[in-house]
């Protein structure tokens, strides 16, 4: 058999609420009696009687000292007055939706309205409603009666039995609006009833056989049966599956099952089990169906649907549980789909067993918060290191968010070094230890400094045990000065001097690196006494002078670009960052007063390499060697002689600044 069960089948909110409370009463020492059957289901009523909650039809039959339970259908106002006058204790389990009708009728009766009730005049709910307007209501249940209803001088207040047929109700209202002008209409048909009837009609149209489970005296069940019968020819109404006899006739058929609002889950489960040839003990099934939840319970359920605003959870009870999106996580940026998916098992906290719509409200966030608090207390006791995000500044420190809790970290404990501006911590994830907890106020104080200081000591110890010249490290640039960059290489800061940042001449370390950059460095020197470390960053393999060795030789003729001029000559770039000096005496084959007489910055010239000193990175160049010889001329006076060549640098990249060179190299008199 292909069996399909209506989602809305079985106990409605009001019935489930009343039955759950009645079973709780059965476990109390006080004697309880229901005024009439609590619901239209013989099995439930009988089971409650066996457990001590008996049924009385009149107050006069109440045993001495017993408490009256007012059933879901409600009672007339006079009954409350009688109970109170006789000082009889009572527990009101009237369905909240029915109670709402009582209030409407009572208020409008006092305001001078004629009350009209659409419903069955013999039904206990309608009798109870009528009792809230001194039994003066006009009661109708067919469109024909609505056609003939005439209003007198009084305005009409129209209400309906909560389980009334929605289609018939609409027809009655249509005619009442035509025949009665001064009316106030309240659609009091329970949403659950409307949904149940709509779903039953739709399901009956899809199947071969439709089974409606419920009591023969249940108005709700009988209306469901009529709806299903109008759509599906083979429809049955039964209090239990046993009334259908041989089930083999349903083999290879599609079967739909729905149930009235007073039908317990055990009846539905028994029907499905027998149709699937599963022989389970009825008593066991009944006990399982009586499982109840209480506010404050922690339960495990299975996610059956994830919606944008809520998550539906199967709790193995009649009603499914609902986790609102706001109760999924304390992170507002996450949607329910980011946290759970259908099929996941979740542990949740029961916030309310039945809300106004009959739902079981759950919270995952609340349970997570309870677990988090327990973890915080344990972490404080054990000295455990936790992690949280700095979410903001407060007077005297910062707030670190750890899951759903706020941890205050004083400014003096927010870092292992002084911070003039704590804003630089906001948004960062930091480790911390809990140093104080106020359990009553749930206030937490933490320390980042304690963690960082301990970590730094461990890193220092590990570093000095393995540090050696030449060892490479992946470091982080922590700060930059005019003379270099400090790099963290594992809890220890080392200095990369500006001269070690690039083979090219740079004006400032920031030309090469920025704070936060990850760079590879190596140890150039270690001072064991001061614990200071010099680091290298330039790759020796990229040394332009080393590469020049493979390309340049004495007597080579190469292209060069004039990059700088001094009184004693001009520097020319042969290769990137490799320069040579063209002495003033080698610029032309005639005597010149200054290099600018023949050359200009940026000019490209052919030069001959006349000398190379690789050790001192000096190259001597000559333009004159490539020019034809000029006729000999009389030598100039000694005062105009060029400076001695041996005192002049031949590469400015590794020398002092120009003004220093100019001062250091003076002309030599002949």
Which residue in 550, 580, 576, 549 sits closest to 655, CA to CA? 580
Highest-confidence segment of 178-182, 539-543, 621-625: 621-625
**Sole residue written with tokens 């700060």:** 479
Residue 391's contacts (CB-CB under 8 Å, 6 or more residues apart) are 399, 400, 401, 406, 426
Tens of pLDDT, residue by residue over 31-56, are 999 999 988 888 888 889 999 999 99
Which residue in 443, 437, 329 sits closest to 394, CA to CA? 443
Average pLDDT score over the chain: 84
Residue by residue, DSSP assigns 566-612 as ETTEEEEEEETTEEEEEEGGGS-SS--SSGGGT--TT-EEEEEEEEE
Does the pLDDT value for residue 336 go beyond 50? yes
The partner residues of 299 in beta bridges, in order of sequence, read: 348
Residue 255's contacts (CB-CB under 8 Å, 6 or more residues apart) are 1, 2, 3, 4, 207, 208, 209, 210, 211, 275
DSSP state of 418: -
pLDDT at 161: 94
Does the pLDDT value for residue 221 go beyond 70? yes
Does the pLDDT value for residue 455 go beyond 90? no
pLDDT at 657: 39
pLDDT average, residue stretch 7-36: 85
Does the pLDDT value for residue 660 go beyond 70? no
Higher-scoring residue by pLDDT: 536, 136: 136
Helix (H, G, I), strand (E, B) or coil at 223: helix
Q: Where are the alpha helices (DSSP H) in 327-384?
A: 336-339, 364-382
pLDDT at 277: 65
pLDDT at 434: 94
Which sign does the torsion angle of CA 483, 517, 417, 490 carry? negative
pTM of the model: 0.45
Tens of pLDDT, residue by residue over 52-107, are 999 999 999 999 999 999 999 999 999 999 999 999 999 999 988 899 999 999 99
Quick one: what percent of the chain has pLDDT higher than 70? 89
pLDDT at 638: 44
Radius of gyration of the chain (CA): 47
Alpha-carbon torsion, ordered 354, 357, 359, 362, to 10 deg: -80
Which residue in 346, 347, 345, 328 sits closest to 336, CA to CA? 328
pLDDT at 661: 36
DSSP state of 188: -
Calpha distance 582→645 (Å, rounded):
11
The partner residues of 306 in beta bridges, in order of sequence, read: 311
Distances (CA, A) of 116 to 72, 99, 104, 170, 222: 21, 17, 12, 15, 23
Calpha distance 640→623 (Å, rounded):
21
For the question of residue 125 being annotated catalytic, the response is yes
Would you say 515 and 479 are in contact if contact means Cβ atoms under 8 Å apart?
yes
Tens of pLDDT, residue by residue over 273-312, are 788 765 444 445 455 555 567 888 888 888 888 888 889 8
**Sole residue written with tokens 């005192």:** 647
pLDDT at 1: 67
| b/e sequence 177-204, b meaning 16+ C-beta within 10 Å | eeebeebebeebbbebbbebbebbbebb
Does the pLDDT value for residue 502 go beyond 80? no
pLDDT average, residue stretch 527-537: 84
Would you say 390 and 430 are in contact if contact means Cβ atoms under 8 Å apart?
yes
Q: Which tokens is 502 given?
A: 């690039």
Calpha distance 393→413 (Å, rounded):
13
**Sole residue written with tokens 């916030």:** 351
The partner residues of 35 in beta bridges, in order of sequence, read: 56
pLDDT at 17: 80
Higher-scoring residue by pLDDT: 530, 394: 394
Task: Give me the catalytic one of 28, 46, 57, 125.
Answer: 125
Calpha distance 492→184 (Å, rounded):
82
Q: How many angstroms separate the first and last alpha carbons of the chain? A: 123
Higher-scoring residue by pLDDT: 181, 589: 589
Highest-confidence segment of 82-91, 180-189, 460-469, 614-623: 82-91
Does the pLDDT value for residue 397 go beyond 90? yes
pLDDT average, residue stretch 231-235: 93
352: left (phi over 0), alpha (psi -120 to 50) or beta: beta
DSSP state of 632: P
pLDDT at 662: 39
The partner residues of 562 in beta bridges, in order of sequence, read: 572
Give φ, ψ of 154 to 5 degrees. -80, 145
How would residue 560 be classed by pLDDT, with cut points 50, 70 and 90? very high
pLDDT at 540: 66
Quick one: what percent of the chain has pLDDT higher than 90? 41
Strand ranges of the sheet holding 2-5, from the earlier edge strand across to the other edge: 2-5, 254-259, 209-213, 235-238
Residue 375's contacts (CB-CB under 8 Å, 6 or more residues apart) are none
């Amino acid at each position: 058999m292909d069996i399909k069960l209506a989602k809305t089948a079985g106990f409605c909110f009001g019935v489930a609420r009343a039955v759950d409370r009645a079973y709780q009463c059965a476990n109390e020492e006080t004697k309880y009696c229901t005024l009439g059957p609590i619901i239209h289901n013989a099995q439930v009523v009988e089971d409650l009687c066996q457990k001590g909650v008996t049924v009385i039809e009149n107050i006069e039959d109440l045993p001495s000292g017993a408490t009256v339970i007012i059933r879901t259908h409600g009672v007339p106002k006079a009954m409350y007055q009688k109970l109170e006058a006789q000082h009889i204790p009572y527990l009101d389990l009237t369905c909240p939706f029915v109670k709402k009708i009582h209030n409407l009728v009572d208020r409008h009766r006092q305001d001078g309205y004629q009350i009209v009730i659409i419903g069955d005049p013999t039904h206990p709910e309608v009798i109870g409603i009528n009792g809230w307007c001194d039994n003066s209501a006009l009661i109708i249940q067919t469109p024909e009666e609505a056609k003939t209803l005439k209003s007198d001088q009084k305005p009409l207040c129209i209400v309906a039995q909560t389980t009334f047929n929605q289609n018939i109700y609409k027809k009655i209202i249509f005619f009442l609006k035509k025949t009665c002008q001064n009316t106030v209409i309240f659609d009091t048909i329970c949403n659950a009833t409307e949904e149940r009837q709509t779903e039953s009609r739709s399901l009956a149209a899809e199947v071969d056989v439709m089974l409606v489970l419920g009591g023969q005296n249940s108005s709700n069940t009988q209306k469901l049966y009529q709806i299903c019968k109008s759509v599906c020819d083979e429809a049955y109404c039964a209090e239990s599956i046993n009334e259908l006899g041989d089930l083999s006739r349903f083999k290879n058929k599609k079967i739909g099952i729905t149930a009235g609002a007073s039908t317990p889950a055990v009846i539905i489960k028994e029907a499905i089990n027998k149709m699937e040839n599963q022989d389970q003990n009825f008593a066991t099934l009944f006990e399982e169906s009586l499982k109840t939840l209480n506010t404050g319970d922690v339960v495990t359920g299975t996610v059956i649907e994830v919606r944008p605003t809520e998550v539906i959870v199967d709790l193995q009870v009649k009603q499914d549980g609902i986790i609102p999106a706001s109760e999924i996580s304390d992170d507002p940026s996450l949607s329910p789909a980011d946290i759970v998916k259908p099929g996941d098992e979740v542990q949740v906290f029961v916030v309310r067993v039945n809300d106004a719509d009959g739902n079981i409200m759950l919270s995952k966030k609340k349970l997570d918060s309870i677990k988090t608090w327990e973890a915080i207390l344990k972490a404080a006791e054990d000295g455990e290191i936790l992690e949280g995000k700095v979410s903001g500044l407060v007077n005297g420190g910062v707030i670190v968010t750890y899951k759903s809790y706020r941890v205050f970290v004083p400014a003096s404990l927010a870092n292992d070094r002084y911070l003039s501006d704590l804003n630089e911590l906001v948004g960062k994830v930091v480790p911390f230890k809990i140093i104080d907890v106020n359990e009553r106020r749930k206030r937490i104080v933490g320390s980042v400094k304690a963690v960082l200081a301990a970590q730094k000591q461990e890193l220092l110890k590990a570093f000095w045990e393995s540090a050696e010249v030449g060892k490479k490290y992946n470091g982080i640039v922590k700060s930059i000065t005019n003379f270099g960059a400090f790099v963290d290489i594992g809890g220890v800061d080392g200095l990369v001097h500006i001269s070690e940042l690039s083979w090219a001449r740079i004006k400032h370390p920031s030309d090469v690196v920025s704070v936060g950059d990850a760079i590879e460095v190596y140890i150039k020197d270690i001072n064991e006494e001061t614990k200071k470390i010099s680091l290298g960053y330039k790759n020796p393999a990229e040394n332009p002078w080393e590469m020049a060795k493979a390309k340049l030789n004495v007597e080579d003729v190469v292209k060069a670009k004039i990059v700088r001029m001094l009184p004693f000559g001009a520097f020319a770039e042969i290769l990137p960052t490799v320069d040579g000096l063209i002495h003033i005496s080698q610029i032309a084959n005639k005597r010149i007063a200054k290099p600018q007489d023949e050359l200009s910055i940026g000019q490209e010239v052919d030069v001959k390499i006349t000398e190379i000193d690789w050790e001192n990175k000096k190259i001597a160049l000559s333009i004159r060697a490539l020019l034809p010889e000029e006729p000999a001329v009389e030598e100039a006076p000694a005062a105009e002689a060029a400076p001695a060549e041996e005192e002049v640098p031949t590469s400015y990249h590794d020398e002092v600044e120009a003004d220093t060179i100019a001062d250091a190299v003076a002309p030599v008199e002949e």
